[in-house]
Amino acid sequence: MLAIIVGHFVYASDTSYFINLDKETTKKGYVVDAFYGTLKLSLSPEALKEPTGVEVIKLDEKIDLPWQLKKISQVYQFEFKNKSAYDSHKQFSIQISYNEPSNYYKQVFYYDKKSSTWLPLPTVDCPNKSFVSCLISMPFARLAVFSNPEALVIGKASWYKNKDGLFAASPDFPKKSKLRVYNTDNNKYVDVVINDSGPDRRIHSDRVVDLDKVAFKKIATIGAGVVNVRVEPLYIAPSNNKILGISSTGAKSQFAVSAKSAIAMNEKTGEILWQKNASSSLPLASLTKLIAIKVFFDLRPSLNRVVSYSIKDEENNYKYANKGDVARVRLNDGDTLTIEDLVYSSLVGSANNAVETLVRISGLSREEFIKRMNQSVADWGATATHFVEPTGLSPQNVSSALDYAIITKEIFIHPIIKKASTIVEYKFTTINTKKAHRIKNTNKLINASNLKIAGSKTGYLNEALYCLMIRVEKNSLDSLVIVTLGVPTRSKSFEETEDLARYALKELSVKKELAKSIFKPKYQYSF
């Protein structure tokens, strides 16, 4: 379609829109309205210093999309044909309609072709009108609206009594984030700071936040109990150097890790959802301890049996590391405690001396115990795995990410191993001295991630770098095993393992949806 609108030359089709803005128009400002209002560029007065053509097109070419996000709009490209006309110090607003409703946080991203990265723009959502608006300061960009499955923003909210202030608990937004919470039934709102985690999304699937009683009273009566809400983030606190799972460097289309070896495997089917050098044998560090505990449990011990600690148990640890570098539970020679205390110390706090005590009281010689560890993993099909001691302090304890995923499937049949590896902390008191011990889990994802973690173990050696295994349950039927070996830093280990879990969960969902579409009958018959 060709047209002349107030002296402007306009061309419009289903996929392309062009308008030429003259000097008089650029001085006054103008709203470029393309594709019947699905994309609008609101140019403030003198944002353009010279006349220019403005082109907007719908991109149909193949373009890589970020794996973390879901595209809910058309991909658009706009361009000021006269680049020198635009004053890059002046931001302008873009409004984009989305064609797929979503209860999750929506944001406009632009595509950086050089780095194959999608970068976020400050965005405000107008869900009642199905569009978002954002600010931008570029003469050319490829844009789309994405929803983030890590942050529910439309749903319900209840209340709880805690700090008696304008606070809230969120399962998605990190602590110190600031949210504006609207009661969508009366349009009242309250600004709150996130200071707690919860509610449990596994129990309340549509619960966005829980408001402190004082905050809840700003938008509803306490008697209402639960209200319909919409959340507008005012400030999102970073977590692990990310904003809602998206790195400060943007959202990548391809998943990658710095780990030397990694795998994501469907525990039920054995299907590999993602891998990197998964068959390479590498030092295993403290991931060794899970196999030692499994072998110990195979000997059917009584957990409430009281045993004595021997300082000689530690001496095996110091063959491989200096005393000050070894994770241990601080016990004195002759201290008495239960076998259960030793098991939990080994798995929760990765205490090396506790493992050696379990080996000593197992009824087997140390050599025979280690032999059984090797025989067990061989029986499970882990052919690239070998142990020379039971704690992981020796770099000669090796496995592959693939082998360890196979091992994990066998180990977590035992309910106590599952429980001990996922509790935040364990407390016990020595029986003879009544000395209290408090042991914290070495895996911070247990407390910080909203993934349903049903098993975990951390590990570190200079030779192994940082190693981590987590089991993630999606539902009662599906669970994944995630293993990363040889990650340079601890924070990176947590970050990459969590990201790989989310990537694998998404891949699993895609595969299930594809399977449904393949086996869905084309015709319905009635008789």
Non-local (6+) Cβ contacts of 301 within 8 A are 339, 362
Give the E-state strand segments of 215-323 in sequence order. Answer: 227-235, 242-243, 246-247, 251-252, 261-266, 272-276, 282-283, 306-308
Q: Please give the helix or strand (H or E) that residue 447 lies within, else none.
A: helix 445-448
By percentage, how much of the chain surpasses pLDDT 70? 96
Q: What is the pLDDT of residue 126?
A: 94
What is the domain partition of the chain in residue ranges? Answer: 2-149, 153-238, 283-462
Of 59-63, 225-229, 437-441, 502-506, the least confident: 59-63
Q: Is the pLDDT of residue 62 over 90?
A: no
Q: Is the pLDDT of residue 6 over 80?
A: no
In DSSP terms, 21 is beta-bridged to 52
Q: What is the pLDDT of residue 520?
A: 57
Q: What is the pLDDT of residue 383?
A: 94
Q: Would you place residue 447 in the very low, low, confident or very high pLDDT band (cuts 50, 70, 90)?
A: confident
In DSSP terms, 470 is beta-bridged to 456, 482
Tokens at residue 270, please?
A: 């054995």
Classify domain 2-149 at the CATH topology level: Chondroitinase Ac; Chain A, domain 3 (2.60.220)
Four-way CATH pick for 283-462: 1.20.140.70, 3.30.390.30, 3.40.309.10, 3.40.710.10: 3.40.710.10
Distance CA 208, CA 229 (A): 8
Distance CA 196, CA 482 (A): 27
Distance CA 174, CA 523 (A): 47
Q: Would you place residue 34 in the very low, low, confident or very high pLDDT band (cuts 50, 70, 90)?
A: very high
Q: Would you place residue 7 in the very low, low, confident or very high pLDDT band (cuts 50, 70, 90)?
A: very low
Distance CA 95, CA 110 (A): 13
pLDDT digits (tens, 9 = 90+) for 225-247: 999 999 999 999 998 778 998 98
Spatial CA neighbour of 495 closest among 277, 254, 259: 259
Classify domain 153-238 at the CATH topology level: Barwin-like endoglucanases (2.40.40)
Q: Would you place residue 87 in the very low, low, confident or very high pLDDT band (cuts 50, 70, 90)?
A: confident
Alpha helices in 299-387 (DSSP H): 312-317, 339-348, 352-360, 366-380
